[in-house]
Structure 1
Amino acid sequence: MTQPVDQPGNRPVGQTGGQLTGPRAAAGFNATDIAWLQLMIAMDERALPLLRLGGERGHDPAVRRLAGRMLVAHQAELERLRAVLHRTGLPAANVHAGHDMPGMTTAVQLAALESASGPAFDRILNARLREHVAQTAHLARSARLSGADPATKDLAASTERGRAADLLVLGGKPRG
């Protein structure tokens, strides 16, 4: 079995019975917990500029309110994610810096939104938010089902519920 690689430095982290071992990871966390925490932090950080822009420039007042509410929720979630990642003993460095993955706001997408206005702005924002929310809901479900640390699984369940509610507002469909 291939061992997970701890970033930075690409030092292997031992794995026994699904639990990470070694000096850099606290007991009780498995690879799914760690991967989910690191990925969600990166994805939420990338969503913040999108949400700020939506709150400032949304054409429809309801769009501005939704973006503002989601911004506050994402900021609070980031604090919780970072606190749990801190408990793992792993560094807070963004191991996904420079990655563009499904649901992760890219520089090109943000630039397109910045250049839009009126109803077109709202459509683009809604599409980007649906992608982000659907993907992070899917990731949260996976962490809830396959994680080991109870606090991480509780946070994943909370994230999954919040994203499901956001998807209803955004008109998106949850992934199975």
Structure 2
Amino acid sequence: MRGIPVRKAGCLLLAALLLLSACTSGSPAEPVASTTTVPSTATAAPVGTASAGGPAGLFSATDIAWLQLTVAMNERLLPVLDLVPSRTTDPAWLRFAARLGTAHRADLSTARRLLAESGAPTTNPHEGHDMPGMVTDEELAALRSATGVAFQRRAGQHVRAHLDQAVRIATAEQRAGVHPMTTALASAVVRTGNADLAGLDRLDRP
């Protein structure tokens, strides 16, 4: 099966770019040809070859690895944002978390659709990994026991770590990815991530 080597090669590429060590190594794989539509479910796509410029419709191993990591990171952040309304009454925090949650759910939906189009495995290769920018189960439990300023401080630290890492890996995808819709999503993540970091800075000011 071609899907497993693509996943492993993509993790290796991102590990080299981002110094992430949680993925396993593997041999490089050819870019994966996509279909012309983005269905909610898809069968495995045929394997194609790409020119150096990366023609439209082809996913590289790096594209797939970035999409998988983006899905995993967003799935870990959303439970933090969902806690905000029940843990603080600060209007600025409530607005920030609501806006961030809406944007990350949209990015998660887009990343999942692109993964479906690529024919990559639907399983999460980062399940159980505690990587930079990912909130652990223990950290989420600690957030559930905090309220007010203490919650805001802890939540802010996790949101900042997520945004920092998201911008970092999206920048790498911009440089190394080949699939146009995937690199376009990465560009949007960089742009909005930097804006959200600035917004978080304003929240942190006394």
TM over 0.5: yes
Residue matched to 1:108: 138
SS for the counterpart of 1:121 is helix
Of the structure 1 ranges 58-67 and 38-47, higher mean CA displacement relative to structure 2 is found in 58-67
Identity in percent: 41
Cα distance in 2 between the residues matched to 1:54 and 1:156: 26
Cα distance in 2 between the residues matched to 1:65 and 1:78: 20
1:135 matched to 2:165? The reply is yes
Cα distance in 2 between the residues matched to 1:44 and 1:143: 16
1:154 matched to 2:184? The reply is yes
Q: How many residues align?
A: 164
Cα distance in 1 between the residues matched to 2:180 and 2:69: 18
Q: How does 1:3-152 map to 2 (within 5 A)?
A: 5-6=5-6, 15-16=29-30, 19-20=31-32, 27=48, 28-152=58-182
Of the structure 1 ranges 163-172 and 25-34, higher mean CA displacement relative to structure 2 is found in 25-34
Name the amino acid aligned to 2:116.
Answer: H
Structure 2 residues without counterparts, runs of 5 or longer: 9-23, 34-43, 49-57
RMSD: 2.4
Residue matched to 2:11: none
* 130 and 75 in structure 1: CA distance in 2 versus 1, 3 angstrom threshold: same
Name the amino acid aligned to 2:5.
Answer: V
* 127 and 25 in structure 1: CA distance in 2 versus 1, 3 angstrom threshold: farther
Name the amino acid aligned to 1:34.
Answer: I
Deviation digits for residues 35-67 of structure 1 (CA, Å, limit 9, x no counterpart): 100000000011110010023322422111111
Structure 1 residues without counterparts, runs of 5 or longer: none
Q: Tell me the CA shift for residue 80 of structure 1.
A: 0.5
TM-score with structure 2 setting the length: 0.72
